[in-house]
Structure 1
Amino acid sequence: MDKKQLVETTTDAAANGGQGGQLTSENVERVFDSLFGTVEHPGSIAEALSRRETVVVGSFGSFHMDGETAAFRPGTALAQFLRNEVG
């Protein structure tokens, strides 16, 4: 899944679960760019990692620095889902 597909899928999921608000692909893409960053601008995750902070995204998992490399540790719910779906 590339970024465009992720934006579209997220927009559809949020719209279907939304409460009447208007959500566009452009809105979702801006949020993704702000969170994950672009080539030109680091996102909020990258900025936190540069300060050596750990970014926890609920049961999805956490981003942290492992030496000089960014790393991701899946959370319990994500790991359990993947075990059930893949295993």
Structure 2
Amino acid sequence: MDKSELTQMTARRAADDPNGRHLEGDDISRILDLLFGTVEQAGTIAEALKGREAVHLGSFGTFQAADGVATFRPGTALTEYLQGQIR
């Protein structure tokens, strides 16, 4: 899945949420750029990692950096979902 597909899928899910705010694809794309960065500008996750901070995303997982290398450690909920333990 590339960024465009991720953006479209997320926009569809946002539109299907009766309690959520409607988000356009452009809004979601901009949020992804701000979080993960672009060629021209680092995202907030990269900035935090460069500042030697870990980025904890709840039970989804944690981004960390050591010796200039970024790593991702999946959280319990993501692991259980991928293993078919939760729906």
TM-score (norm 2): 0.90
Structure 2 unaligned residues grouped into runs of 5+? none
Q: Relative to total residues, which structure has the larger helix share, 1 or 2?
A: 1
Identity %: 47
CA contact (8 A) 2:36 2:42 kept: yes
User: Residue type matched to 2:75 in 1?
Assistant: G
C-alpha separation in 1, matches of 2:13 and 2:60:
17
Q: TM-score, normalised by structure 1?
A: 0.90
Query: Cα offset for 1:67?
Result: 2.2
Runs of 4+ in 1 over 4 A off after TM superposition: none
Change (3 A) 1:80 1:20: closer
Report the aligned-residue RMSD: 1.5
Asked if structure 1 preserves the Cα contact closer than 8 Å seen for 2:64 and 2:72, the reply is: yes
Aligned length: 85
Match status 1:58 vs 2:58: yes
The equivalent of 1:82 in structure 2 is 82
Offset of residue 66 of structure 1: 2.8
> In structure 1, what residue type is equivalent to 2:21?
G
Indicate how the Cα distance of structure 1 residues 67 and 26 shifts in structure 2: closer, same or farther if over 3 A, else same.
Answer: same
| Matches of 1:46 and 1:18, distance apart in 2 | 33
Question: Unpaired segments of 5 or more residues in structure 1?
Answer: none
Does the alignment pair 1:43 with 2:43?
yes
Q: Deviations over 1:64-84 (max 9, x none)?
A: 013220000000000111122
Q: Do structure 1's residue 9 and structure 2's residue 9 form an aligned pair? A: yes
Check the 8 A contact 2:14/2:22 in 1, yes or no. Answer: no
